Amino acid sequence: MEFNIHRKYKGKLKFAILDWAGTTVDYGSFAPTAVFFELFASRGVHITAEQARAPMGLMKKDHLRAIAFNPDVTKKWIEVYGSPITDKDIDCMFDEFVPMQTKCLKEYAAVIPGVPQAIKEFRRSGMKIGSTTGYTRDMMEVLVPTARENGYSPDSWVSATDVPTGRPAPWMIYQNAINMQVFPMEAGVKIGDTLVDIQEGLNAGMWTIGLTVTGNMFGLTQDQVKNLSKAELSERRRVASEKMYEAGAHYVVDSMADCPVIIEEINYRLKRGESPRE
């Protein structure tokens, strides 16, 4: 005997899962990048901004490994050491990375403009706020209270080391849902500034919103963004948006400040019986 049961959720969004660096704090997502630059330079291997930023959003050890095994970085490493980087090298570098990253997090914990207002609108519509990150729990125990002092505090946060594997796996999102006691997953939206944020949200069965200007896709300070010409701003936005949509994002906007209106549109689509999987 076979059954085909198809249910559709037609209620409003119940929760949002937000990224941290580049989404809610640390405009331009500079904290991880700065440390990776320093870490590789200390070993005589100089990496580019693109190489440092390409794996952004992954658990930080996975991020480190992805940089190290970039073909161009591997070539530079061999030129310096005469042999490819090993897992032992990665372990040693990560052991050094953790205190370096933890030490500088307070410097990069300023809340991105528009975030408090967006959060206020989310809560006004009855949504709970969870968060995921590529940072470890030790790092988050520094960042979370500092962000709270600066005006941002989610209802739940889960780090990459709290679950079996980090992004793009959905485990951090599921743990947030458990913490906040919310379901179904189509009643949630994942918002982030990296491609793996989008993949994480899709793997969890959620709506997804990609952010371009404030995060890793631009990789610029707020002042640098303001000083861009209209043509350059438009081109950067076009390139970043294309990458986000190619990753599967349902929507792409500049920043968290643009998200409340998107929440209204998703609620309308849910009421019509639409699903993020369609």
Render pLDDT for 98-120 as a digit per residue (tens, 0 to 9).
999 999 999 999 999 999 999 99
- Region of 82 please: left (phi>0), alpha (psi -120 to 50) or beta: left
Confidence (pLDDT) at 253: 98
Asked whether residue 82 carries a pLDDT value surpassing 70, the answer given is yes
Residue 110: DSSP 8-state: P
Asked whether residue 239 carries a pLDDT value surpassing 90, the answer given is yes
The pLDDT of 223-244, averaged and rounded, is 98
pLDDT > 90 fraction of the chain, expressed in percent and rounded: 96
Q: Tokens in use for 189?
A: 């939206």
**Cβ neighbours around 243 below 10 Å, total:** 17
Three-state DSSP class for 111? strand
Asked whether residue 61 carries a pLDDT value surpassing 80, the answer given is yes
Cα separation of 41 and 23, whole Å?
27
Active site residues: 19, 60
- How sure is the predictor about 75, in pLDDT bands with cuts at 50, 70 and 90? very high
Asked whether residue 3 carries a pLDDT value surpassing 90, the answer given is no
By mean pLDDT, which of 1-10, 17-26, 183-192, 259-268 is the weakest? 1-10
Confidence (pLDDT) at 4: 74
Cα separation of 9 and 269, whole Å?
11
Describe the chain by its helix, strand, coil percentages, rounded to 5.
50, 10, 40
Render pLDDT for 152-183 as a digit per residue (tens, 0 to 9).
999 999 999 999 999 999 999 999 999 999 99
Confidence (pLDDT) at 278: 82
Tell me what the pLDDT averaged over the chain comes to. Answer: 96
Bridge partners, 111 (sequence order): 25
Cα separation of 235 and 68, whole Å?
30
Render pLDDT for 93-102 as a digit per residue (tens, 0 to 9).
999 999 999 9
- How sure is the predictor about 1, in pLDDT bands with cuts at 50, 70 and 90? low
Domains in the chain: boundaries: 15-30+110-271, 31-107
Confidence (pLDDT) at 69: 95
- How sure is the predictor about 2, in pLDDT bands with cuts at 50, 70 and 90? confident
pTM (predicted TM-score): 0.94
Asked whether residue 38 carries a pLDDT value surpassing 80, the answer given is yes
Sign of CA dihedral 233, 239, 240, 245: positive
Residue located via tokens 């890793």: 216
Cα separation of 232 and 225, whole Å?
10
By mean pLDDT, which of 50-54, 252-256, 262-266 is the weakest? 50-54
Asked whether residue 20 carries a pLDDT value surpassing 70, the answer given is yes
Q: Tokens in use for 255?
A: 């920043």
Order of all β-strands in the sheet with 251-253: 128-131, 15-18, 188-192, 207-211, 251-253
- For domain 31-107, give the fold: DNA polymerase; domain 1 (1.10.150)
Asked whether residue 5 carries a pLDDT value surpassing 80, the answer given is no
The pLDDT of 253-258, averaged and rounded, is 98
Architecture of the CATH domain 15-30+110-271: 3-Layer(aba) Sandwich (3.40)
**How many whole angstroms from its chain centre is CA 223?**
22
pLDDT > 70 fraction of the chain, expressed in percent and rounded: 99
Confidence (pLDDT) at 234: 97
